[in-house]
Every structure is written in structure tokens, then in C-alpha cells.
């Protein structure tokens, strides 16, 4: 029986290649004499991406294609959501230098809640603000990593 290579395999392979690229690039960053250096976190994330890509590719190869669900054709509504999500993420990254992390992140998280269909608005607002503040203080004081701040000048 011939196995069909599915899109899941190609996505897994793409994740592996992307992870390898990130890992190689992270090793070009300066190494710290002591403790965690600037390239250690990206290298760690790259290893996770490679691992997950490997799992995805192997799972796709081992899957029984005859029992696999039929794939849906192109869906314009889904494509619109993906476009909005990517555009919103780029806008978030671009506006970060102007508005700062603490001011902009709750709005971005609310946008994500809306995109993924979360309906409890009050809870989404509380979660967005709480997560943004916790991440801000965690990075500022525990990791001692400066995050972008709001500045008019």
C-alpha cells in the first residue's frame, strides 16, 4: 500500500527546517561568560520547534490515510481570519515601539480572544490586563529584560 504524503508532513518538515535555521542563527549571538546569554532562549525555542515538527512529520507518515478525515476545500472565511490574525500581529509588533508593551498588550490579547471566538467579554478583559501586567513584571524584575515602554518622544 502506497502512503500519500499529506500537508501535515510538509508542515512538520517546514517546522524542522525553520527550527534548524533559528538554532543556527541563535548560535551566532554572543555567548555569556556566566548564566544565560542572548542566544540561549532562541536556541531553546528552536529545539522545541524542531521536536514538534519531528513529531508532526512522523505522525503524518504513520497515519492511516484511508481513515483520515477528508480535507475541506479552500474556505474564504478561514482565510480572512488568518489574514486578520497575521495583520493584527504585525500591527502589534510595529506599534510596540510607540505604545509600549504594557499599554498595547491587553488590546492585542483582547483581539486574540475575539479572533478565537471567546464570548465572555468581562473575563477576557480581566485576563488580558492580568496576563499583560504579570508578564511585564516578570520580565522587568525576574528576568531583568527591558520591554518597550510608552513614550511620546
For the chain, the structural domain boundaries read 1-71, 76-153
| pLDDT for 2 beyond 80 | no
For residues 151, 107, 78 and 17, what is the CA-based torsion angle, rounded to 10 degrees?
50
| pLDDT for 66 beyond 60 | no
Supply the pLDDT for residue 1.
Answer: 47
pTM: 0.61
Helix (H, G, I), strand (E, B) or coil at 137: helix
Residues 13, 53: contact at Cβ < 8 Å?
Answer: yes
How many CB atoms sit inside 10 A of residue 47's CB? 14
List pLDDT tens digits, range 8-33: 888 899 999 999 999 999 988 887 77
Residues 92, 108: contact at Cβ < 8 Å?
Answer: yes
d(CA 15, CA 13): 5
List pLDDT tens digits, range 67-89: 445 555 567 888 898 899 999 99
Amino acid at each position: 500500500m502506497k502512503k500519500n504524503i499529506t500537508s501535515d508532513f510538509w508542515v512538520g518538515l517546514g517546522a524542522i527546517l525553520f527550527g534548524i535555521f533559528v538554532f543556527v542563527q541563535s548560535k551566532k549571538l554572543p555567548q555569556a561568560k556566566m548564566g544565560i546569554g542572548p542566544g540561549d532562549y532562541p536556541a531553546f525555542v528552536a529545539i522545541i520547534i524542531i521536536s514538534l515538527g519531528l513529531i508532526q512529520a512522523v505522525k503524518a507518515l504513520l497515519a492511516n490515510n484511508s481513515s483520515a478525515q477528508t480535507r475541506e476545500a479552500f474556505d474564504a472565511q478561514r482565510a480572512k481570519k488568518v489574514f486578520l490574525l497575521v495583520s493584527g500581529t504585525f500591527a502589534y509588533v510595529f506599534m510596540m515601539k510607540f505604545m509600549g508593551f504594557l499599554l498595547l498588550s491587553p488590546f492585542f490579547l483582547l483581539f486574540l480572544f475575539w479572533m478565537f471566538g471567546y464570548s465572555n467579554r468581562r473575563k477576557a478583559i480581566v485576563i488580558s490586563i492580568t496576563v499583560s501586567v504579570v508578564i511585564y513584571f516578570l520580565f522587568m524584575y525576574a528576568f531583568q529584560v527591558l520591554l518597550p515602554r510608552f513614550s511620546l518622544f
